[in-house]
Amino acid sequence: MAADTPPDSPPGTWTALEHKVFRRFWIFSFFAFIGASLQNVGAAWLMVDLGGTPLQVSLVQGIMSLSVVLVALPSGAVADLFDRRYIMLGSLSGLMLATAGTGALALTGHLSPQLLLALTFVFGASSSLMTPAMQSTIPDLVSRATLPSAVTLNGMTSSASRSVGPAFAGILISLLGAGITLITNVLAFVGLWLVVATLGQSLAVNAPAQQRPSIASAIRVGLRFAVTDSHFRRLLIRTLACFVGVSALLGLLPSLVAQRFDDVGAAGARHLGWFLSCYGVGSVLGSLSIARVSRRFSRDKLILMGTLVSGIAMLAIVYGESSSAMSVAMFAAGMSWAVALTSINIEAQLILPKPLLARGLSISLMALMIALTTGSVIWGAIATRWSIPVALTGAATVTIIAAMAQWFSRSATSR
């Protein structure tokens, strides 16, 4: 489907839940997303508690993104060639080990910034192995007609976790401490592990093993498609342009909260949890709105609008220093993030041919994580050298320029 052609009659948001297997998969994915969100908040706040610089705090997101960049391509190839059930089970096991290890080291006082970044890398690598297999499984659980609904619902659970996870993390960390919070976080992944383990159908490629290409060959085929298919290539470029600037907000938010509200302990964790919850609520509403607004706007326009609002919201966070102003701006930032990212994901699912689905999704994910990794390093370094407001202002400016460039590019193409 062309990027700038809205569907004639998009399915309702909840249509995919008519499929029983997908419904179970979706429900327990929600808990796993909460666990991942809680891990991200806990790791970032642990870095603040360990006395990390703004660059080190930003690198918690950056190292997570870097691990995805390094593992995404082989993960997509593996998911296209082998049974995705076993890939997901192994990935979930890695997530549980990484979060339990971080919690145990924090609890015993043996955690250092370097160890925290190393375990964050393991968590990110496990997540990146999981993501292509998980996303490419969704079309096997629903009909093609309800695929946009399924992708939207999957994005919604991720968005909702940004609401529930951070708030839950802030409460638990303030009551129990980060160590016990992260150890108990293992439970968030158990349900999805059991759902995947009990899937009756094989999620493997039907071709005999001797006819399957090697992983290296499969990666080359996937990259060739990304380079030669004009629609997919354009989608990747847009992802890179949009999210380099957007990455600054979540990467620098823990440091901004600690600086602006002058607290780094339990009170700071609650503040951070609240602002991230506002972001998550906005993300949920953004996901819920996709089915409706896609009747009026093409996904191309939705990506553009989401990028523009993200930049404006970052400026509001920097210069609206009150807690209420930050809360409203975080809500708007979360909503715009969800609209842009969900539109990109739906477009990728519809563009990619079935045999290349996992590889294409992993390349799309890699483009996103390259943008987030690059942005985390750049904006973290600027914040350390000058200040956090200077870094966020620069990131907001880059984001708005990216949106404007998309607009002029569309205008030139239409002519």
Domains of the chain, with CATH numbers? 16-200+212-414 (1.20.1250.20)
Share of the chain above pLDDT 90, in %: 0
Q: What is the mean pLDDT of the chain?
A: 76
First to last CA, the chain: 20
Taking CA 373 as the corner, what is the angle to CA 364 and CA 318, rounded to the nearest 5 degrees? 110
Residue 159: its pLDDT value, please? Answer: 61
Tokens of 97: 């080990």
Of 206, 239, 256, 241, nearest to 361 by C-alpha is: 239
Other beta carbons within 10 Å of 101? 18
10 Å Cβ neighbour count for 268?
21
| Per-residue buried b or exposed e for 188-216, using 16+ beta carbons within 10 Å of the residue's own CB | bbebbbebbeebeeebbbeeeeeeeeebe
Burial degree of 228 (CB within 10 A; 0-12, 13-18, 19+)? exposed
Residue with tokens 């979060």: 99
Burial class (CB in 10 A: 0-12, 13-18, 19+), 187: exposed
Q: Can you say how many angstroms the Cα of residue 20 is from the centroid of all Cα atoms in its chain? A: 25
Q: Centre a 10 Å sphere on the Cβ of residue 176 and count the other Cβ atoms it contains.
A: 14
Do residues 300 and 23 touch, judged by C-beta distance below 8 A?
no
Q: Torsion angle, CA of 191/194/195/201, rounded to 10 degrees?
A: 170
pLDDT over threshold 80, residue 396: yes
Residue 185 is given by DSSP the state: T
Alpha-carbon span 341 to 363, nearest angstrom: 14
pLDDT in tens, 165-222: 666 776 777 677 777 888 888 888 888 888 888 876 655 554 445 456 667 777 787 7
Task: Read off the pTM.
Answer: 0.60
Q: Is the pLDDT of residue 318 over 50?
A: yes
Among 20-24, 229-233, 257-261, 313-317, the range with the most confident prediction by mean pLDDT is: 313-317
